[in-house]
Structure 1
C-alpha cells in the first residue's frame, strides 16, 4: 500500500476540521463536534480505501505477489501440510457384516424372513388409577 496510517489520520483530521468550521455557524458547539467526529471516521475510511485503490493502480504486480505469498504456505514449516485421506474400509465392513447375515439366513431355511416390529420394554408403568383420582390430579395441576 502507498503511504501509512498517518496519511489516513491527516486526511481524517482535515475532513473533521472542515466539517467543524462549516457546521459551527448553523449548529451548536456539541452538534458541530459530533458531526466532526463522524466526518473524521468517514474520511479515515475513505483514505484507507483510496490508498488500496492507488496501490493496485500504481503497482498491480506487487499487490498480486503479496496476495499470492499470503495464500501459499512455506514449505519449510512443520504442520503446514495435512493429509486428509483415510484408507478404504468398505472391504473390512463387508467382511464383518457377511457372517452375521449368513447366520440369520441359515436359521430359517426356505422361509422368507418376516418383519417383526420392535417391542421395547417399558421403562416404568403406573398402576391403573381410578378416573376420579386422575381428574383430581389434573384439576390440581391446572389450578381448577
Structure 2
C-alpha cells in the first residue's frame, strides 16, 4: 500500500469536519457529533481501500518478471523476447470429443420410429345440458341478461 496511516487520519478528519458541519445546521450538536464520528470512520476506511487500489495499480504483480533459479537462467535477449510476445498468444487446447459427437449424430436403431402417436385430450364433461328443458334454459338466459 502506498503512503502510511497519517494519510488515513487526514482523510478521516476531513470526513469528520464535512459531516459535522453539514449535520450541525439541522440537528442537535450531539447528533452532529455522532454523525461526524461515523463520517470519520467511513472516510478513514475509505482511505485504506483507496490506498490499497492505488497500490495495486501502481505495481501490479505481473509487472516484474520472476527470474528462474538453477542452471537454465535465460539471457537478457530471451527475457526481452518474452516481454514482446506476452499477451499476443492464446495457448488453449480443447479436449477431443469426436467420438461423442459421432455418437450423437448417428441414429440409433431403437429410435427409428415414433412409439406413441398424438392423441388429442378428450376430457369428460362435467355438466350435461341434454336433460334440461329448453324453456328452463331460456328463463335462465333471460334472467342473466336482465342483471
- Normalization by structure 1: what TM-score? 0.42
Which has the larger helix fraction?
1
